[in-house]
Amino acid sequence: MFRFLPHAALLSILASSALAGPPLVCHPWIPEDAPRPPSMSWLDDGAAIPEDWEAEAVRALDAAAETLVRMDIVQRALIRLSDSAGKGRFLAALDDRVRRAEEAARGAAADRAAAARLDRCRFDHSLAVATARYLGGERASRQDEAASVARLKACAAALGDDPAALLAVARATTPLMRTGTREEHAQAFVRAYDLAAGMPEGEGRKRMQSVLAWDLERLEAYLLDAEIQKTGAKPGSESRLATLRTLARASEVAEDELNRFIFLAVFEGLMSDSVPDDVVEQVLHPKGIKSNPARDFPNFVYACPICSPAVEAFRAWAGRRSFYYGRKGDPYVSECRLPEDIRASLFADAAAERRAGIQKLVGRFVVRRFETLRLNDAELARWREAIARASKRGAELLKSQHYDTQDGMEKCPSCEGAISGREDK
């Protein structure tokens, strides 16, 4: 028999101050002044928990397209299931939901909808794990806590520009609970705030803006007001948001930093894998690809913030003989260490397969660069955000310059490779 909290006690926990405990637990995802969608009866009216509550919870999550609504279901269900057995059963049900979504995404009939559903299932599970660590009186190790937060961030990134998922990252990285995450927290909150402002009118936007206002009035007030008062400014929502924007800008990767990162990732990758000239020539000037004759490098998007330094690195590697000094032969190229599947893709007949090879190649180089730098969680998050922004700009340039219609390039290979490299790390 599971113990459950009376409805009044549940509302009391969710309405409590930020200082009462971790924001993932003690701040509601849907405040009382926001439109509340239909939910499970045993969450809303304090009725006894039904025998098949796991199946009912999974059905409710599957039916909720809005990320914030699913976050509310996960949080409230975990609080209601106040003993460890109930919490364990809920996490197991979510884990099984992920496995079934993975099987569907691998199936013969898999499509983008199946992949998107898998991303949603993984995010819901990661949020539940991160939230559950603060419930039941159990103390997680620092390593376990860091791993659960890292998983939440990765799953949130897979959802793209989702303001609710970004707010979950902001709460998970609040300096109240973890040290060294101040800028990362600010960046996630500001991004969520700006995305919410661009949402279409409707209850979803009202819910999102309500919870952002809740955090500005409570959590951010606790974190920032003393600092704001020192400047002589009056603490309030506007001054808190302005302070968060300043913190977020301070943590952003500058354009020249990103240029160096991509250039060095590709150049060092080419050197480490001892990539021969014929492979580089095939990447830069592929044979047999029909494209706009004005394109100097048909596999790369002109002016893309990731393609540009990548092309420069390929060209620098191709021109290495011109700056050798007192050398015989080619001292940096011995036996090619490039995986055979990547090499085969680069020389495939189909343009799409060749570009998939470039994506794998750039992804391989970016992963290696991350491993070389040995970044901490906050630093990784900073670079992941920078690559995401640059890739989005690359996608815009691809469309505006008609690479999709004139060259058959649906996605920028270098951007997709950099994205996969940042996620694999």
For the chain, give every domain's residue range.
7-177, 255-424
- The pLDDT score that the predictor gives to residue 330 is 83
DSSP structure class, residue 21: S
Percent of the chain whose predicted confidence (pLDDT) is above 70: 86
Where residue 139 falls among pLDDT bands split at 50, 70, 90?
low
Mean pLDDT to the nearest integer, 319-346? 87
**Lowest mean pLDDT segment, chosen from 209-213, 297-301, 357-361, 405-409:** 405-409
Burial class (CB in 10 A: 0-12, 13-18, 19+), 293: exposed
- The pLDDT score that the predictor gives to residue 10 is 42
Q: Over the Cα atoms of the chain, what is R_g?
A: 25
- Residue 174 CB coordination number (10 Å): 26
Return the biggest CA–CA distance within the chain.
84
What are the tens digits of pLDDT across the range 20-55? 467 888 888 998 888 877 766 777 656 677 788 888
- The pLDDT score that the predictor gives to residue 142 is 65
Mean pLDDT to the nearest integer, 328-357? 90
**Lowest mean pLDDT segment, chosen from 17-21, 108-112, 245-249, 267-271:** 17-21
Q: Global pTM?
A: 0.64
Mean pLDDT to the nearest integer, 131-147? 70
Task: State the chain's mean pLDDT as an integer.
Answer: 85
Q: Which amino acid is at 280?
A: V
- The pLDDT score that the predictor gives to residue 423 is 58
d(CA 239, CA 243): 6
